[in-house]
Structure 1
Amino acid sequence: MSGLRDETEQLLLLGETRPDRPMPGAFRILTWNVQHAAEKRSRTQAAWLAQREDADVLVLTEVGHGPGGLALAQALREHGYRVMEPVCAGDKYLTILACRLDEMVQVDVGMTVMPHRAPAARIATGRQAVVVVGLYVPSRGGPGEQRNVAKRAVQDAFAARLPKLIADSGDTPLVVAGDLNVLEPGHQPHHDVFGVWEYDFYRAFAAAGLVDAFRALHPEAVEHSWFGRAGNGYRFDHGFVSAEHADSIRTCTYLQEPRLAGLSDHAAMLLTLDFAAV
């Protein structure tokens, strides 16, 4: 990417698709890999998020541990969001949760491996609450003997916590959203580089009692949230909902506009849960 477009031009372009607010009782959760943006781009990202009337709950992954991440969190606060920034040590990236609803209270996931990549909160508006877990799994790679070590460690640790997360949530809906750096089995196109252990991580969500929200609504659709240099697409960004609350899933769509405008190399994913009619 060779520089950003003028910020005003970007927001005008992206604002053309800004939707109306849905019915009361809906939770609008937007997850987006922000590509460790520097300060200027972080502020533009926050402005784009704030002007979307459907972005009440944010799960932002690959937030840089440094000036860019600090600028993003501060800009979100200035736009009226409550922001949860986990303590990050020994890593370049973290996950941020933010909301502009009535309540956001931290929840302990119990992760002992890179917990700053998996923050959680109980988020409430009116009588309805949802437990939201943001997750950013390390990408593949690493030098020599360290290749894929961090990715395996985070996947194994989080998969082990999933059953307790479900149990602890009780009757409260649970959502896990973020850049999992994993593909579903049968992903189109197929990418040979991914191993059985990575597909098993995707399967762990269903085994624990969560539903892939996008697949629940779009069983056959081919959609991607990131594209490689050769133009091949990958659906890395996901939203999972506790199976007993799957009837509340109303929309789950990928927003390509911020990727095409150069705000990040990832599309955003928007998940809407509506409990008013459930």
Structure 2
Amino acid sequence: MKIATWNVNSVKARLSHLETYLTENRPDVLCLQELKTEEFPAASIQALGYNIEYCGQKAYNGVALLSPHPITVTQKGLAGEDEDLQARYIEAEVQGIRVASIYLPNGNPVESEKYPYKLRWMARLKERAKQLLASEVPFVLAGDFNIIPENRDAKRPEQWVNDALALPQSRSAFRAILNLGLTEAFRALHPDRAGAYSFWDYQAGAWPQDNGIRIDHLLLSPALADRLTACDIDKTPRGWEKASDHTPVWCEVA
């Protein structure tokens, strides 16, 4: 079973790219982030044989789950802040696996309310992970975490020292989720690989210079981690014309 995650940075702007990716790769589940729309452009995706469940928002955020298999939504949004209406979390059952597509807050500028919101959101995600672990259902938290886990996950880590994606508090909150007993799929299979990135900014020639960062992750529950057979980053879509600044990350489980 192949599970992939991709921040498409506007599903309408990147619809033809999405169609190409689905046609060429046929993932069993594709988690999307940053849809930037209230209404998912579903017709062409459904024509490819994919079911769609999503949580949209006008011009910002938005998450979705796509699968050729039935999708049973179990939760939209995270508990803990009733006033939080940002579309950043959708969770569903697919083929006996609970899959969550997440778009974790960026948190910049750090001096603004956006950073405390990021940390609170991560604490709420940790609580949801605890609940899922207690249920013993196999699950994956997949998406754009907006976290650079370690300096080796950035081409130029010195550029990110004061950024919300790499601050010690951010990394600590990410580790706290992992330390519940989750497995970060890419590092589990590639513990020593450097130069592996999933995001390249549009500015300053980041893509041609391979000045990237790794911020898109797949976190597996123990039951699912035992079944992990492959995981990698597919750089191809980042090289397409008018590409998203992110590229897909995928894993396979037996």
Give the TM-score, by structure 2 length. 0.83
Alpha-carbon distance change, 120 to 144 in structure 1, aligned in 2, over 3 angstroms: same
Query: Do residues 181 (structure 1) and 146 (structure 2) align?
Result: yes
How far apart are the structure 2 equivalents of 1:88 and 1:260?
A: 27
Identity of matched residues, %: 24
Unaligned segments of structure 1, at least 5 residues: 1-26
In structure 2, give the amino acid aligned to 1:202: F
Corresponding pairs, count: 235
**Equivalence for 1:97:** 65
How far apart are the structure 1 equivalents of 2:20 and 2:199?
A: 19
Alpha-carbon distance change, 269 to 238 in structure 1, aligned in 2, over 3 angstroms: same
How far apart are the structure 2 equivalents of 1:147 and 1:116?
A: 15
How far apart are the structure 2 equivalents of 1:53 and 1:47?
A: 10
* Rg larger for: 1
How far apart are the structure 2 equivalents of 1:65 and 1:82?
A: 18
**Equivalence for 1:28:** 2
In structure 2, give the amino acid aligned to 1:225: S
SS of equivalent residue, structure 1 residue 52: helix
SS of equivalent residue, structure 2 residue 226: helix
For 1:201-212, list aligned pairs within 5 A: 201-212=173-184
**Cα shift readout 1:62-120 (whole Å, capped 9, x = no counterpart):** 11124xx522x33322221111112547x71111011002x211112661345631100
In structure 2, give the amino acid aligned to 1:251: A
**Equivalence for 1:79:** 48
In structure 1, give the amino acid aligned to 2:71: M
Give the TM-score, by structure 1 length. 0.77
SS of equivalent residue, structure 1 residue 119: strand
How far apart are the structure 1 equivalents of 2:24 and 2:31?
A: 14
CA RMSD of aligned residues (A): 2.2
Greater share of residues in helix: 1
In structure 1, give the amino acid aligned to 2:216: D
Alpha-carbon distance change, 114 to 28 in structure 1, aligned in 2, over 3 angstroms: farther
Q: Does the aligned pair in 1 maintain the 2:31–2:142 contact within 8 Å?
A: yes
How far apart are the structure 2 equivalents of 1:110 and 1:146?
A: 20
Q: Does the aligned pair in 2 maintain the 1:46–1:75 contact within 8 Å?
A: no
SS of equivalent residue, structure 1 residue 227: coil
